[in-house]
Structure 1
């Protein structure tokens, strides 16, 4: 599904495509990609609205699963901890937040698996 009907956000398939493109850009430009997974927010719809309003417009906020959202961010340096912390401030303490940063030398499935395992 390209767009989630509940939130209007990109769906899982579009997230995977954007992740793949972001990893290619990171590899060729020497930048980084951070993927943040937000699982079990109190309300997916409310969390989606807060994230979309509170994050930079070039970050991708997507529906990752029934009770999960994802944020995809491209950046020049550092790790994903400032991005993950900003997301925690926006959505509160109740959801679980998992994140991983890649320099583009990782396959999309591996990035997702690493984020899920943290």
Structure 2
């Protein structure tokens, strides 16, 4: 499913495609990709709304799993800590947030697995 019917956000399949494309751009342009997973069991719709409204338009906010949202961001330098901090500011303290940054030399499945296990 390309778009999630509950949130209206890109769904799992579209997120994977965008992640793969972002990793290719990172490899070829020398940029970075940060994937942030946000577990929001009590307020998924509110978290989706707040993230979509509060993040840059070129960031992808997607529904990754039933209660997990994903944010995919491409950037020129640094790591994912400023992006993670902004997401924490937007969604509050209760959701769990896990993130990983890649230079594009990692397979999409490995990027996701690393973020899930942090």
Shift of 1:43: 1.1
Structure 1, residues 46-66: CA drift from partner, whole Å, max 9, x if none?
A: 100000000000000000111
Tell me by how many angstroms 1:20 deviates.
0.1
* 1:6-45 equivalent positions in 2, closer than 5 A: 6-45=6-45
Matches within 5 A, 1:1-118: 1-118=1-118
Residue correspondences, number: 118
Given that 1:41 and 1:91 are in contact with CA atoms closer than 8 Å, whether structure 2 keeps it comes out as: no
Gaps of 5+ in 1: none
Q: TM-score, normalised by structure 2?
A: 0.99
Spell out, residue by residue over 1:29-52, the C-alpha distance to the aligned partner (whole angstroms, 9 max, x if none). 000000000013421111000000
Q: Which ranges in structure 2 are unaligned for 5 or more consecutive residues?
A: none
Query: TM-score, normalised on structure 1?
Result: 0.99
d(CA) in 2 for partners of 1:41, 1:31: 32
